[in-house]
Amino acid sequence: MEKKKTNKKFIIIIVSLMLVGVVYGSYKYIHSLSHETTDDAQVEKNMNPIIPRVSGYVSKVFIKDNDFVKKGDTLFTIDTQDYKLKIDEAKAALAAAEGSYEVSKADVASVSSSVSVSNANARSASGNIETAKIRLGRAASDFARYENLYKSHTITKQQYEQALAAKQEAESQVRILQQQEKASSYQTSVIKAKGNVTSKQIDVAAANIKRAQAMLETAELNLSYTVVTAAIDGQVSKIDIQPGQLVQPGQSLFYIINNNEAWIIANFKETQLNKMVAGQVVTIKVDAYPDYEFKGTLTSFSPATGSRFSILPPDNATGNFVKTIQRLPVKISIDADNDVDKIKLLRPGMNVDVDVHIK
């Protein structure tokens, strides 16, 4: 009797387990018709890297590990002595360039004055030549008349020689004035050539001023970069810098995590993507907070599978190909109507389970 009773209990247990299995299997099958799920998903947030723009030794650190900071808060400072010297050097170069510019301006003014004087001399010489030519014409006429009179023995030889001397003196005066005019013209051309050189020098001096001003602005900008501030509100990661440490431009030192915005990156199998489209409702459960269910929306699909973004992507042309189901990263946004405090508790890298409602 006891044996039959034992067998009956065993059968009841087996049947119960089978019923539970059938019910669970039916539920999962029916659920799979309108849902796609995966546990290969993690929380993501914006991680702003702190990267100095100038090199130098850290003078002071104002934050500690995991501190909360506001946009504009000073994170750390770099020693400023070298950059202040650069500013002094740039100011001296600017002063020298401005001095050179003033000298060039004075030279241009001097050349301009010399050109004016030379032009005046040339005009004066030209006027004197015209007067001398008139005198020469009169002296030549007098000489011609005296020459005829001398031939007819009407005047004395002395009067003839005086007329000849007056004519020759007038001719000589014209030649001298013409030479002076040529000299004045040559001097004017030389001064103008010098003026052109001086004008180029003043252009160079002006360019040197602009370059010195740019150097000064660059030096002042680099000095401002010695104070490293937070670009966003958030929480800093582990701080790996100490006073006296040398940092370089482009060196990633630590991160600021933006706790006000989060999303999910879920890696679905390629066979699950057939009915998934952007805009579908998603249920999100975070392993760290199983009692709260987040609501989300499927936002977008990655342009390539996750393996394609790896350092060594697979190459299937080697002859030993084995087909493996690939996973595609899918971005899921967390809806704004979720509890804000709960969103702030999420941390990048946390594991989550996602359920996409495909119907």
pLDDT score at 331: 95
Cβ atoms within 10 Å, residue 5 = 9
pLDDT score at 328: 92
pLDDT score at 117: 57
pLDDT score at 330: 95
Q: Shortest CA distance to 129 belongs to which of 180, 72, 166?
A: 180
pLDDT score at 208: 81
d(CA 332, CA 346): 14
pLDDT score at 30: 64
Mean pLDDT of residues grouped by 10 in the chain (359 residues)? 58 80 72 80 93 94 93 94 92 83 61 58 64 70 69 71 72 71 64 56 76 91 94 91 92 91 93 91 93 93 86 69 85 91 90 91
Residue 355 near residue 31, CB atoms below 8 Å: no
| 49-55-61-67 Cα dihedral, nearest 10 degrees | 0
